[in-house]
Amino acid sequence: MGVIAWIVLGAVAGLIAENLTGKKAGLLLATVIGIVGALLGGFLAKELFGVQTLDTFFNLSTWVTAIIGAVVLFLLFGAIRGRGGRTRRSGGGWRSRSRATSGRRSRW
C-alpha cells in the first residue's frame, strides 16, 4: 500500500476506534493512532497467527486488523492519559470549582 492509502486507512480506523472506545482524541491524533494501530495489528497478526493481513487496501482483514490495533492503542492511550493528575473530565479547572464552591463572583 502507498502512503496515501496508509493515511486513509489510519484515519478511518482511528475514527472508528475512537467511536468504539468513547475516547475523544481529534482527527489528527485518531489518524496517527489508526496508522500505528494498523502497523501494530499487522505485526501481531503476522507473528502470532502467521498471516499477512496488511497486503491490500480493499481486503477485509486489513480493515479488521487496523481497527483492532487502533482500539488497543486507544485503550492504552486512555489508561496512560488517565493516570496523569488531571483529565478533561475532572471538572473544568480551577475557575469553575472556585466559583461553584464560593457562591459569589470573584473580582479577578
Start-to-end CA span in the chain (Å): 56
33 CB contacts (<8 Å, ≥6 apart)? 10, 14, 17, 18, 25, 70, 73, 74, 77
Q: Averaged over 50-74, what is the pLDDT? A: 84
Task: Please report the pLDDT score of residue 104 as a whole number.
Answer: 59
- pTM score, whole prediction: 0.69
Q: DSSP assignment of 11-79, as one string?
A: HHHHHHHHHHHT----HHHHHHHHHHHHHHHHHHHHHHH-----S-TT-HHHHHHHHHHHHHHHHHHHH
Q: Averaged over 36-65, what is the pLDDT? A: 83
In this prediction, residue 85 has a pLDDT band, given cuts at 50, 70 and 90, of: very low
- 33, three cell numbers: 493512532
